[in-house]
Structure 1
Amino acid sequence: MNRIIGLKQFELTRGSLIKFMQTLDSETADKQPEGFNNTIRWHIGHVLSAAELFMFGKEFKHLPSEYPSLFGNGTKPSEWNTEGPSLEELMSQLQEQAQRIKVIPEESFEKKLSEPFLGLETVGELYGMMLYHEADHIGQIKAMKRIVEAKKVTE
């Protein structure tokens, strides 16, 4: 993937998520619509945590160590033993993470992974996966918000 094209795509995708978050309130973010396993807040934390894993590995040096247990695959807010981070915390962490991702040296994207992940073999391929993953979840959270807001009108 051309680094400049990928960076533009990342700026558009992450910018879209942050702009969307500015339209949210905690009540909407924490409502779990029927037919969904998670909440909007969970999806936002999941995007943040997955991007950290894809681009920086399992150490989670820049995010709270409990994020994988809150936002990892198969986790659910209904099973949390804690309140979880606020929308403001998540937004700040998404912005800070974006800055760290933007300064990853271009040559790093050609590096081979120590072992393939989901059939991906380089850091650049992981970057492409991160972009796809983030965009996919943005679509889900936008749909969830519409469902939650429509339900509020009928109640």
Structure 2
Amino acid sequence: MDKLVFKHLKITRGYFIKNVESLSKEIVNVQPDGFNNTIQWHIGHVLTVAEQFMLGFPHKTTYLPANYIELFGNGTKPADWKEDVPTVDKLIIELKDQLVRLQQIPAERLNETLEKPFMGLETFGELAGLTLMHEANHLGQIQAMKRIIEQTGVKN
């Protein structure tokens, strides 16, 4: 089972990166009607949340800049951005680097009990499952946004 979780992380992240790399740079900062964020935000959000859930960001890991919480954390939105935001290309590099670090998590860690249950989850392995679901959900949002932007011709 442990190998399966890490295999799913690799497959899901690989598919996420493949989809993001295929996006036109003209659409990543477009926020279509009915959506709260941009594609660029979704990419940064997936990166930031995976770092929080799986690697303890910002307290236990410093691989990402601390301001990613303010840019991409839950409840944030591009309309509130006041500082320079990392490019999609930089976020893609960070997603790839993060996958390497995720693959280095010891399998036995999946059985560890969380210090405090999170959303009804009690083990680190259950949190890994939530991370997978979260990433797949945001990939669906990105794919939907891409289709709407391309069909409506909305520009940045």
For Structure 1 versus Structure 2, the TM-score category normalised by the shorter chain is over 0.9
Alignment of 1:25-104 (within 5 A): 25-58=24-57, 59=59, 60-104=61-105
Match of 2:143 in 1: 142
Deviates more, 1:80-89 or 1:95-104: 80-89
Q: Give the secondary structure class of the aligned counterpart of 1:41.
A: helix
Q: How far apart, CA to CA, are the structure 2 residues paired with 1:12 and 1:53?
A: 20
Conserved? CA contact 2:3–2:107, under 8 Å: no
Once the two structures are TM-superposed, the CA of residue 83 in structure 1 deviates from its matched residue by: 3.2
Conserved? CA contact 2:27–2:146, under 8 Å: yes
Give % identity. Answer: 49
Q: Deviations over 1:53-107 (max 9, x none)?
A: 0011132411010001000111110110023110110000000000000010011
Instruction: Give, as a single letter, the amino acid of the residue that structure 2 aligns with 1:37.
Output: N
Alignment of 1:10-25 (within 5 A): 10-25=9-24
Q: Give the secondary structure class of the aligned counterpart of 2:153.
A: helix
Higher helix share: 1
Once the two structures are TM-superposed, the CA of residue 152 in structure 1 deviates from its matched residue by: 1.2
Once the two structures are TM-superposed, the CA of residue 112 in structure 1 deviates from its matched residue by: 0.9
Instruction: Give, as a single letter, the amino acid of the residue that structure 1 aligns with 2:23.
Output: L
Unaligned runs of 5+ in 2: none
Once the two structures are TM-superposed, the CA of residue 126 in structure 1 deviates from its matched residue by: 0.6
Q: How far apart, CA to CA, are the structure 1 residues paired with 2:150 and 2:84?
A: 23
TM-score, length of structure 2 as denominator length: 0.93
TM-score, length of structure 1 as denominator length: 0.94
Q: How far apart, CA to CA, are the structure 1 residues paired with 2:8 and 2:45?
A: 19
Once the two structures are TM-superposed, the CA of residue 52 in structure 1 deviates from its matched residue by: 0.3
